[in-house]
Amino acid sequence: AKSGGRGTYVQYEPEMDAHLQAVQQMRVSLRQALANGDLEVHYQPLVDLHTGKITTFEALARWPHPERDQVSPAEFIPVAEETGLIGSLGEWILRQACTEALKWPPHVSVAVNLSPLQFRNQGLAATVGDILEETGLEASRLQLEITESVLLDDCDGNLQILKAIRRLGVKIAIDDFGTGFSSLGYLRTFPFDKIKVDRSFITDLPDGRESLAIVRAVAAIGRSLGIVTTVEGVERQRQFDVIKAEGFDEAQGYLIARPLPAEQATKLAHSAHVE
C-alpha cells in the first residue's frame, strides 16, 4: 500500500494503475493530435429508401495513429470523456462537419454525434448556435445524434439544453434506439425528429423473428408520431429489402457505403444516386 495522505492508505492496485496510465498517455497524445490537426472526420451516407438519394452524411471521428493502424472512436471518445477533452474535441468535430456540409447540395444534411458529457457545458446550445453562425450553415441542415443517456442522466438540465438547441432549428435524432431501458418513454419526453434503430436489431434480419417484430413496431411508431425512421448497420441486401418493405424512411450501412474521407464524401454528395 502507498500512503494517500495523512493517516489514510490507498490500496495499491497495479492493474488500476496500468489502466490509468494508459488513459493518461492516450489523453496526452489525443490532445496533441487535436492541436496538431491530426484528427479527421469521415462521413457515411444515409439514403432515402423511396428515392435512393442521399439525405444525410453522419460525421464520424477518425484518428489515424502513427504507431497503430487507427484508433477506433469507440476507444478514444471514452478517453476524451474521462479526461475532459470531449468539450473541445466535440466542438472541433461540429465545426469541421458544418464546414464540410457547405460543400454539399443544399438538400443534404449533416449528422453529428453528441456525447452526454458535452451537456455538462451549460452553454452548449449557445456553442452550437455560434458554430452555425460562424460557418454559415443553415440550422435545418444540422442533425445532432444523442443517446437516451442524455435524458437519463440528471436530466431536467439536459432537457432544457436540448430544447434550446432545437429552438435554433437544429434537428435531434435519438441514436442506438432500442438498446436502453426505456427508449419508448423518451419519445414522450422530447419531440425527436429522427429515430435511428440500433444495428443490433438489424444484424439478425431477416431471420430473427424478435428483431423483425421490434423493427416493425418502431417503423409503425415513427409513422404515427411523424418521426423520420432510420436504421444503421445495413450490410446485406436482404436486410435492406426488409427495412424498405417495413416502411423505414432511410438506411445507413456498409452495403450502401462505408464512412468516407471528406473529399470522397463530397464527391459522392454531388453524384445523383448511390448503389
- Chain positions contacting ligand C2E, by CB under 6 A: 44, 59-61, 72-74, 77, 93, 113-115, 175-176, 232-235, 252-254, 259
37 to 96, contacts with Ca ion by CB under 5 A?
A: none
Amino acid at 24: Q
CB 206, CB 240: distance < 8 Å: no
118 to 177, contacts with Ca ion by CB under 5 A?
A: 145, 175-176
d(CA 105, CA 266): 9
SS3 104: coil
Closest CB to Ca ion among 145 and 249? Answer: 145
Cell of residue 62, nine digits: 477518425
Pattern 188-217, Ca ion, x by CB under 5 A: ----------xx------------------
Nearest to 197 by CA among 230, 223, 168: 230
For residue 233, the minimal CB distance to ligand C2E (Å) is: 4
Closest CB to Ca ion among 86 and 136? Answer: 86
Member of 44, 96, 113, 229 binding Ca ion (CB under 5 A) = 113
Is 109 an interacting residue with respect to Ca ion (CB under 5 A)? no
Neighbouring C-beta atoms of residue 117, cutoff 10 Å: 20
Cell of residue 130, nine digits: 455560434
Report phi then psi at 42, rounded to 5. -105, 165
Closest CB to ligand C2E among 104 and 177? Answer: 177
For residue 169, the minimal CB distance to ligand C2E (Å) is: 21
